[in-house]
A and B are shown apart, each in its own frame.
Chain A
């Protein structure tokens, strides 16, 4: 990425701004010289939230690709019955690596990457509340990832990302891979926990003047609730994996049924973390969609309060639904009924969000950018994931669907089609801000179509696979069970999907230095990150504008229009000139 030097243009003359500072401040890029001229040293030692954000995004995308290759290997193995490409041992290792990587090393930290880069910019702060803690968070994540992937040279873990004992106990998983997995959970857990505390402190304390709780951008609401959920959920899994570790090596029997321990205890502890984790992975994505859709519809978001409130309600309910992962476990029927109802309830705020996004598009003047393609694709896919979630919440139906490919389809519709499409919408939306260069829109749309078609080919047929009786996590199957064609379609789809993802990576690689210069506000955005130059200077804001609504940049454009008489075109619709306020 290009190093931040002197900004190309300033939104305001600095001289008059300095006089407006409420308290005496030193502006970093005016007084300090870089301590080193070596760029890699600068990257390793930086505490700048933007550089840390970029490193988060790059590192998590490396893990995304590793996890993707693991998925493709598994799909190749399953493409035909009786395939011998992988052994059962290798397959179990791959499914463990894939799940763990995608959850702990990609989706959760990539949201921290976006959050790192954009939380201070969107709330009008000059950095995160604890910059050095921020750097620690990132390096802990990288360490966790490296420790985990070192097992490739020894014995990778093979008990799955959920690692149910007794299978994950020392008796049935004697290799050190399982311990590396525990170590990864601890390191990424501490990393996320520190990051969450940092986000919380930043958002609560460092907002621009005038940015009350009713005016913070919806992406910030997403990150705030993400942080709170991480703080609630992570200590529980940290305790659980510590208990697993002491069971494995220090003679305790928490989960050992032969010594009055209970494997079901692990399931409760793990899913008490595991289900909030699902919302940890999707809420910031919802936030991205809630930013992208109004900007490209040229409309205010429909029902700001409802979207913000539904985020909080989802977070609350997310801590009350964990046992819907355990409908086939030894759990009393009355408990199953409770968790069915709580899982139903969570569908309501989620539905509200979808309705609000569609209402935001309604009567807009929709700019069909690649980012909007991904956002609309996200909504289209997420609807399917939400609906299949209702099937799974009905526990008698779940007895048939649980642990089959129907579940695999469901959670890939919400996590791959959901989170990943929202991440891609975020990439196409914010890349110009991060690098100062535009991505190629045509390539972006082609990438979207390949991903969208590939995704649906891969995962839609998996519903049918599950309904026709194929359980998850089997490395091979007999011919003639009615699964052959679906599996082949799914494998073909996965390679189309991978090709689509590759096109975006090529787009990024080609355009981060050579793309069209973006300027500070290429999309006519609503939020404060578009106020500063692209890429932003080290201190972000020389002057922090006063915030008067949830869309401060529209207010600023309107003010410029009023004062200069020059119409501020917003991509084809002269909304302010005609529609007024």
Chain B
């Protein structure tokens, strides 16, 4: 009976690891998601070894030492050397993981220089910044239940931001450019997350948080969504990141600016008309 137990335990726990290759690592596609995925893989390899050894020892001992006629249990109370040994071994593994994490950390939190020549890049000191200081800042604002993006330097400055182009849900970014997101929320806590582009950053009202990414290729669409429960329609708070070439991005930005201005002008006209006719 326990033989079957052993085999079933081993089979059940080991099977998904091999059968689901490709889904045993997080999504990646652009820095820093790639760096996070590579750190994850190192942990995964160590974890797999630990898993096999410990589960193996468990299954083996349950199978091997099940009660039989004439089997007498060895009356062992402990073994100090062995116990110190495995305590130190466990601690050593964690020391290795700590070292690996801190070696990999700069690649995850420090943005690299942009490789695309672009004149929409700007410099700032308070946000995460590439070594040469050139980056594209976009402000992300979480609202129940949509993301709003304001494009251009100074988007954190409220009155100035009013004049900048913006979009909802779909974020447009140029390829090969270090994009820094300044993330805020106007109501409850949201969490910005596009798995292929990097980790989560919470949008907490009263705080500004930052994320960065550098999408390598144009004409790619990345899918993400809010990761912190923000209310009844949390499931529909999605984010789409559309990567354009720097030139396309410039054109899109200008076009968006034009459309917004045109729409605003129309509203102003309509408002003036309604006021003059006494309907407002």
- Partner-B contacts on A (CB < 8 A): 87-89, 92, 95, 158-160, 164, 166-167, 172, 257-258, 261-264, 297-300, 302-306, 328-330, 333, 337, 340-341, 344-345, 347-348, 351-352, 354-356, 358-359, 361-368, 373, 376, 379-380, 383-384, 387, 390-391, 394-404, 452-453, 456, 460-461, 463-464, 467-469, 471-477, 481-482, 571-575, 578-579, 581
Contact = CB atoms under 8 A, between A and B. Distances in A.
Contact of A297 (B47, B73, B87, B205): B73
Contacts of A367: 67
Contacts of A257: 204-207
A396 B200 contact: no
B69 interface: yes
Given A303-B78, A383-B58, A404-B227, A347 B12 contact: no
Q: Which 7 A-B pairs have the closest CB atoms?
A: A399-B199, A257-B206, A474-B235, A88-B232, A298-B73, A363-B74, A257-B205
A21 B150 CA distance: 82
Interface in B1-57: 1-2, 5, 8-9, 12-13, 16, 20, 23-27, 32-33, 35-37, 39-40, 43-44, 47, 50-51, 54-55, 57
A167 B191 contact: no
B263 interface: no
B228 interface: yes
Interface stretch (B100-108, B151-159, B264-272): B100-108
A473 B77 CA distance: 47
Given A364-B74, A391-B43, A571-B67, A166 B205 contact: yes
- Interface core residue of A92, A261, A391, A399 (most chain B CB under 10 Å): A399
Nearest to B189: A164
B130 interface: no
Contacts of B72: 365, 573-575, 578-579
Contact of A358 (B54, B97, B198): B54
Nearest to B193: A471
Contact of A383 (B43, B55, B188): B55
- Interface core residue of A262, A352, A383, A571 (most chain B CB under 10 Å): A383
Do most interface residues of chain A lie in helix, strand or loop, or is the interface mixed? helix
Given A88-B235, A380-B9, A400-B26, A364 B187 contact: no
A390 B47 contact: yes
Given A160-B229, A361-B58, A464-B24, A304 B77 contact: yes
9 contacts: A261-B206, A299-B73, A304-B77, A329-B204, A366-B65, A387-B51, A476-B235, A573-B72, A579-B74
Contact of A299 (B13, B75, B204): B75
B58 A380 contact: yes
Contacts of B209: 330
B233 interface: yes
Given A303-B83, A328-B202, A391-B40, A87 B232 contact: yes
Given A344-B98, A351-B90, A399-B200, A575 B65 contact: no
Contacts of B207: 257, 264, 330
B146 to A, nearest CB: 15
A379 B56 CA distance: 12
A340 B101 contact: yes
Interface string B217-251: 00000011111111111110000000000000000
A518 B44 CA distance: 47
